[in-house]
Amino acid sequence: MLLTDSLIDQIHTFRLEMMSRSVDAIKAVHPDAAGLAIGGGYAKFAGDGSPLTQVYGLGHRGSHYDLGEVDDFYRGLATNWELIVTPFASPTLLPEAAKDGYIPDHFESVLAQVVERPLVEMTPGVEIEEAVDDLTVWMQVSDAAWSGSEELAQDLSDLARIMTAYPSRRYLASLNGEPAAIAAMVSIGDMHMFAGAATRPQFRGQGLQQALTQRRLADAGEGSFVQVVALPGSQSHRNLQRVGFQPLYSKLVMYRNPIVSAA
């Protein structure tokens, strides 16, 4: 897939629109959720410590930006947040962010494909349904998968509630009748983003995410543009390539303050 200037800007516009649309939904869980178009990008607050509290696209295509305005937006709201630096940001952003104390944390790869003839191949015993009304089991699987617990969560996390508040389609995969994995798809026009993919630890390596990916490709429809984010070199990254996704570029995730891992 050729990474043209037009495609770069389409992906950027999609991401900003996706972030903007999510703010009102997040307010159902966090009434103080907020968003701000800033410096050619978008800043979002979804709770202090939330992985969804982030700034994306700052300085896109040389847009004027001011890191001080980002600090002003989060002042009194968050003690830390992600700054996602794309390869298309102003070349001054990365050194200025480092000078201001932002800490590089990890890279993420953006992969994409234009859907051709989608094929859904089910592993024996696997069933996929779209979660529409009662999302309790979807949230329980999400919490168990992200926390690495083999047991379904009983007390649902704010993150799970926020993910169900997002304007998206949600999918639940079961193996032999046991809820095992989840995924979601955000759609704006004929562009889509796959997100939220997670599998309970005891069900990993059994083709559930591949089945969920194929189902979402089929629902996106032939000719649509689909993107997804994965850690470079991860198993997810390799699995996505096996079903037609091509790496487009990598982006750098920085934090305003260092992330301290528990000993």
CB-CB contact of 22 with 190 (8 Å): no
Q: Assess if residue 121 is contained within a domain.
A: no
Q: Assess if residue 64 is contained within a domain.
A: yes
241 pLDDT band, cuts 50/70/90, is very high
Q: Assess if residue 114 is contained within a domain.
A: no
Please report, for the domain that includes residue 177, its CATH number.
Answer: 3.40.630.30
Single-letter residue type at 12? H
Q: Does 104 lie in the same domain as 130?
A: no
Q: Assess if residue 252 is contained within a domain.
A: no
Averaged pLDDT score across all residues of the chain: 93
Instruction: Write the pLDDT tens digit of every residue in 143-181.
Output: 999 999 999 978 898 888 888 877 899 999 999 999 999
Whether the predicted pLDDT of 32 surpasses 70: yes
Residue 29 is predicted with a pLDDT of 86
Q: Does 131 lie in the same domain as 103?
A: no
For the segment 16-26, the average pLDDT, to the nearest whole number, is 92
Domains of the chain: total: 2
Residue 263 is predicted with a pLDDT of 42
Q: Does 141 lie in the same domain as 79?
A: no
String of DSSP letters for 207-247: SHHHHHHHHHHHHH-TT-EEEEEE-TTSHHHHHHHHTT-EE
Whether the predicted pLDDT of 262 surpasses 60: no
Residue 89 is predicted with a pLDDT of 98
Instruction: Write the pLDDT tens digit of every residue in 181-239.
Output: 999 999 999 999 999 999 999 999 998 999 999 999 999 999 999 999 999 999 899 98
* Residue range of the domain that includes 85: 5-108
Residue 166 is predicted with a pLDDT of 79
User: Which is more confidently placed, 257 or 247?
Assistant: 247
Whether the predicted pLDDT of 69 surpasses 80: yes
- Joined together, the tokens standing for residue 57 give 């696209």
Share of the chain above pLDDT 90, in %: 79
Report the alpha-carbon angle 121-236-186, nearest 5: 75
Find the range with the poorest average confidence among 68-77, 192-201, 235-244.
235-244
Q: Assess if residue 103 is contained within a domain.
A: yes
β-strands 82-85, 54-56 pairing = parallel
Q: Does 77 lie in the same domain as 149?
A: no
CB-CB contact of 225 with 114 (8 Å): yes
Residue 3 is predicted with a pLDDT of 94
Residue 167 is predicted with a pLDDT of 83
